[in-house]
């Protein structure tokens, strides 16, 4: 499973841990991802998505079908 949100496209970012002495070491910032099932009433079926917390809020705000349509246009979702 790649760590990418299928609705918003959020993915891992890279940064630095900075100690008190200002020594820098690499670290990863991971998105807040969940495996979640959504009901798609147009097709009368359940779909499973890997979405971030922001992606869940987007689905709640716009609706599942609109959010999926926008994600397909941007290339985040391929096979749904």
Q: Is residue 7 part of a domain?
A: no
User: What is the β-pairing status of strands 33-40 and 24-29?
Assistant: unpaired
Residue 8 pLDDT: 96
Q: Is residue 54 part of a domain?
A: yes
Q: Is residue 80 part of a domain?
A: no
Q: Is residue 33 part of a domain?
A: yes
Residue 1 pLDDT: 58
Domain holding 44, by residue range, is 13-74
pLDDT < 70 stretches in the chain: 1
Say if residues 50 and 34 touch (Cβ distance below 8 Å).
Answer: yes
Domains in the chain: how many in total? 1
* pLDDT tens for each residue of 27-50: 999 999 999 999 999 999 999 999
pTM (two decimals): 0.85
CATH code where residue 41 lies: 2.30.170.40
């Amino acid at each position: 499973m790649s760590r990418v949100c299928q609705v918003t496209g959020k993915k891992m970012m890279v940064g630095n841990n900075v100690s008190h002495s200002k020594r820098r070491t690499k670290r990863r910032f991971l998105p807040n991802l969940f495996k979640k099932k959504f009901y798609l009433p147009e097709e009368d079926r359940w779909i499973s998505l890997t979405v971030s917390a922001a992606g869940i809020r987007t689905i709640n705000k716009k609706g599942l079908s609109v959010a999926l349509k926008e994600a397909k246009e941007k290339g985040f979702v391929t096979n749904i």
